[in-house]
Amino acid sequence: MLESDLIQENRVASGTQNGADEPLFDEEGAQTLLRSPHVDGSHESEEEPFVVFVMHASVGSGHRSAALAVAEAFEALKLDDGSSLPASAEIEVLDILDFGRVAIDGDKTASMFTGPTRPFYDITWRYTLTGRLLWGGGTAWSHVMFGKLTDYVAKRKPAVVVCTHITAANAVVGARMLTGQRFPIVCVPTDYEIEGLWPHKETDLFCVATEAMAETLRPRKVAERKMEITGIPVRGGLGADFDVKAVREELGLPQDKTVVLVMAGAHLPQPYVRFRATMDETLPYLKGLSGMHFVFLPGRDEEYAVRLQRQQEAMSIDNMTVMGYVEKMPALMAASDLAICKSGGLTVTECLCSRLPMVLLGRSYGQEKANTRMLTSLGVGMHVTTARELLGALRHLHANPSSLRAMLVNGEILRRPAAAHDIAEASLRLVGTIESPKKHFVEFYWGRKPAHTR
């Protein structure tokens, strides 16, 4: 929310929470100092500060998680003597929905993409028409919805803006046009494909996860100098080395079994309704996979956790553990051998950084379909949609541990745990290089034949 005074908030490392596109930890505990804006944009210092905006939209929590990761990387650069970022720089993490003319509930908006409307949402992703009829950018969003952001940009004069959501990117493009400022705008898609509504012509740099994403941008007439392959930013110690034996001992997990994380926790339960229903069908058969131990992560959903525990007791499943909210997710992921999860961008990226092979469960639409196709095409994960398929995949992996090792090796092609740092560095290199923008209300344009269609 917008605050009346410039305050410093202590925030904790935040990747996904128990496997969903959620923060890994509570926001109590202080690791990264982030700033919240004033309503009036005033500043106590007479000297203009070096300001960095990292913008997201609270539609779900993956975009925010990525924004916090980038902000943390900027904060770290302030301590680096070789960095061009001043030690006095102010890093602001902004939710574009806080600046809207009309209040938008991001959670309800995210839930719209999980029910009957999913196929309509899917149309915006990389079909032949939507891969060629593209959004260039303009002031339309700012005039219609985000005048408050334009005012805030005019007062704060950011040196660079990094956006992890389409809405934030389009709104700040309009604000830059209307204020005549020359700060660079860096777009960071948080999935393994790029939707057609990013402001392609007005973006100064796309930081993408893979070369395949760059191949999507080229037919959209994005110049090579405006693309950099960095990976998707994550936080929370993911990718660090842990003493696996000690972690398993601390968490009461067996040392001699394949530990399988079932990532069924989420801030929003709607996306996980089908996932949980499929796992319910699978529960009676878990005892037959004696070489595996299943760790269910319901997140903060205590009702679901209690239901799982009752099912475990009723079926006498001894190779199953139900954990509540987990504070040491990086360690748990590092000590595990396989994840059963949805194909959200932040979820799968955290698994990749943790060297954790995946079974992607459930039908996927939009960005999740793009993620699923990318991961399965590279042999990084398996995709199943039903309980029968899931059991077949688990039985195969149970009998053939070499398949897990193969997925682990294949995952190295996508693994980029330093993505947040690389994005921050690339963003700073653009400061002072941008020409004055030309104003236009809307701009659509016709791209070349898409590199990938479906």
Q: Is the dihedral of CA 149, 151, 152, 157 positive or negative?
A: positive
Q: Residue 364: exposed, middle, or buried by beta-carbon count in 10 A (0-12, 13-18, 19+)? A: buried
- pLDDT of residue 185 exceeding 80: yes
- Residue 111: closest CA among 59, 148, 150: 59
The number of residues making up the chain comes to 454
**Pairing relationship of beta strands 381-384 and 32-36 according to DSSP bridges:** unpaired
- Residue 185: closest CA among 131, 137, 233: 137
* Tens of pLDDT, residues 208-244: 999 999 999 999 999 999 999 999 999 867 888 899 9
Per-residue model confidence (pLDDT) at position 269: 55
Per-residue model confidence (pLDDT) at position 120: 72
What CA–CA distance (Å, rounded) separates 191 from 341? 15
How many CB atoms lie under 10 A from the CB of residue 446? 8
Could you tell me the pLDDT band of residue 54, with boundaries at 50, 70 and 90?
very high
How does the average pLDDT of the chain come out, rounded?
A: 87
Mean pLDDT of 16-26: 42
* Tens of pLDDT, residues 192-208: 999 989 999 999 999 99
- pLDDT of residue 14 exceeding 90: no
What CA–CA distance (Å, rounded) separates 445 from 353? 37
What CA–CA distance (Å, rounded) separates 109 from 114? 10
* Tens of pLDDT, residues 345-373: 999 999 999 999 999 999 888 888 899 99
Question: What's the predicted TM-score (pTM) here?
Answer: 0.87
Residues of the chain with pLDDT > 90: what percent? Answer: 71
Mean pLDDT of 86-106: 89
* Tens of pLDDT, residues 100-155: 988 776 566 665 555 667 777 777 777 888 889 999 999 998 999 999 999 999 99
Mean pLDDT of 368-382: 94
